[in-house]
Amino acid sequence: MEHFRKLERMYNSAPINEHFKPVLSVELGKAQVRIPLRDDFHHSAGAVHGSLYFKALDDATFFAANSLVHSVFVLTARFELDLLAPVSKGTLVATAWVSGEDDRRIYAEGELHDESGIILARGKGHFARSHIALSPEVNYD
């Protein structure tokens, strides 16, 4: 669906993603983010910093939620993260799905695994529709 490809292109255009080199795929109510790990993502004890876990899961749940909204950008209103295991090499794989919706919020959950399937973290977020139009101004094209 063209909406999903536009969301993927919008994500790819974000300046922060030049550093992390993530790959996003979007489907209806679902999204996946893959981030190849590098040593410069490590904290001083040699494992990936938790901020990368947050980024992967927030991004995946965000785009699962925005896959349902064709007119405006959604915003993360709340996010919870449970860190379960460390990782130092390979690829982070965050898989997310919409778990509910009401008049004010879209709810999405996700899991973060390494490339061999070991679960590293779980996250869940609440997403609100903003007043920012999905348009070429936000690289939605």
Residue 35 has a pLDDT of: 98
Residues of the chain with pLDDT under 50: none
Helix-then-strand count for the chain, H and E: 3, 6
- Residue pair 115/96 in contact (Cβ under 8 Å)? The answer is no
What is the C-alpha to C-alpha distance for residues 90 and 5, in angstroms, rounded to an integer?
26
Residue 101 has a pLDDT of: 97
- Residue pair 27/68 in contact (Cβ under 8 Å)? The answer is no
| Helix (H/G/I), strand (E/B), else coil: 40 | helix
DSSP 68-126: T-SSEEEEEEEEEEEE-----SSEEEEEEEEEEE-SS-EEEEEEEE-TT--EEEEEEEE
* pLDDT tens digits, 10-29: 999 999 999 999 999 999 99
Residue 94 has a pLDDT of: 98
pTM: 0.96
Residue 82 has a pLDDT of: 98
**What CATH number does the domain containing 79 carry?**
3.10.129.10
Full domain range(s) for residue 104: 2-138
Q: Strand pairing of 106-113 and 119-133?
A: antiparallel
| Helix (H/G/I), strand (E/B), else coil: 8 | helix
As for how many domains the chain has, the answer is 1
